Structure 1
């Protein structure tokens, strides 16, 4: 029986998407894998269709489910929660700009089960030099510690526990947000759960590959916030 539901939401960023899915296809562990294609371009859609059987994942095209334009993260989370609850399994999100290691999923499942009142359990992200990077730059010192953190966890590579999935219904997520990692992190704490960050469980993160305009936050922050407000983008 599956020990987890694993999902990857995809919006183009084809090169990183390839690396993400190929790494998950080689990962250890007993899990079901779903890829949610959120109105990607034909090239991305074609690639996903071509390799879904070979790499062992179920492909869901959101264009077959909704007419709402991308991003549809709320819908993805709602559909994934339903699948996880049906199998009484935790939900693991691996974003399409993250490359996991062979043991990552297996370790997330095992370690999360060994810690008290787990709500979220995240693998830390690193750059290609092995340094902690966005969104975990607040961790300054390398270690193998597992930290009960007050910071919000990103969904880069994060497990949402079965007890939390049972306590908080994703149907109640706001219609006015695009991304929900901060909100669900806070909701987890509010419900009495603990959020853990595994500093020794490292995954490669190539930030904003599917949303390249977000890099303006670092190169031209004024323009970034203007686009964010005017175009109602990146609502957290």
Structure 2
């Protein structure tokens, strides 16, 4: 029996998607793996179908479920919550610009078992040099500590506990938002759970590979916010 449901939402970014999937399939731990394809280009879809057969994971094409244009993170979260609750195991989200290590999944599961009333447990993200990077570059001191954090946890590589999944129904997520990690992090604390950041569980993060326009936030912030406001992008 699996100890976790692991999911990866995919929107093109084929190069990083391949790295993400390869790393997950080589990771230790007993888990079931699902890739949710959010209206990617044919090349990405073809790769996912081929890799699913070769490597043994399940691919879900959202075009078979909805005609709502990408991003469809809410649908992904709802389907994933259903899978996790049916199996009675935690849900681990690993995004398609993240590369885990062989012990990442098992380490997060072990931490969730050891800590008090966990809602979410997040692995910290690093760059190619091993330095903390977006979205956890507010952490300035390196350590192997597991800390109770008041900051929101990103869904880059985050484990969500069964008790929290049982208490908060993702069908309640807002219809006019695109991303939900901040809201779900806050909701976890609001209903009495603790969110933990595992600073010793480090995963490589290649930010915004599936949404390259978001790099404008750092290169041309005025244009970024104009696109965000007038094109209604990146609604959190």
The TM tier, using the shorter chain, reads over 0.9
Partner secondary structure for residue 5 of structure 1: strand
Q: Shift of the alpha carbon at 1:23?
A: 0.2
Q: SS state of the match for residue 93, structure 1? A: strand
The residue number in structure 1 matching 2:118 is 118
Q: Does 1:135 align with 2:135?
A: yes
Aligned to 1:204: 204
The SS at the match of 1:7 is strand
TM-score by length of 1: 1.00
DSSP 3-state at the match of 1:138: coil
Establish whether residue 93 from structure 1 lines up as the match of residue 110 from structure 2.
no
* Residue correspondence of structure 1 range 1-236 to structure 2 within 5 A: 1-236=1-236
Can you give the 5+ residue segments of structure 1 that lack an aligned partner in the other structure?
none
**Offset, 1:159:** 0.2
Q: Distance in 2 between matches of 1:146 and 1:110?
A: 12
- How far does the alpha carbon of each residue in 1:10-40 deviate from its partner, in whole angstroms, 9 at most, with x for none? 0000000000000000010000000000000
How many Å separate the matches in 2 of 1:159 and 1:89?
10
Structure 1 distance, partners of 2:71, 2:11, is: 8
| Structure 2 CA distance for aligned equivalents of residues 158 and 56 of structure 1 | 22
Deviations 1:199-231 (A, max 9, x none): 010000000000000000000000000000011
Distance 2:27 2:56 in 1: 11
Gaps of 5+ in 2: none
Provide runs of 4+ in structure 1 moved above 4 Å: none
1:130 counterpart SS class: coil
Q: What TM-score do the two structures reach when normalised by structure 2?
A: 1.00
Q: Could you tell me how far 1:110 is from its partner in structure 2? A: 1.1
For 1:229 and 1:55, locate their aligned partners in 2 and report how far apart those are by CA, in whole Å.
Answer: 41
Pairwise CA distance, 1:157: 0.2
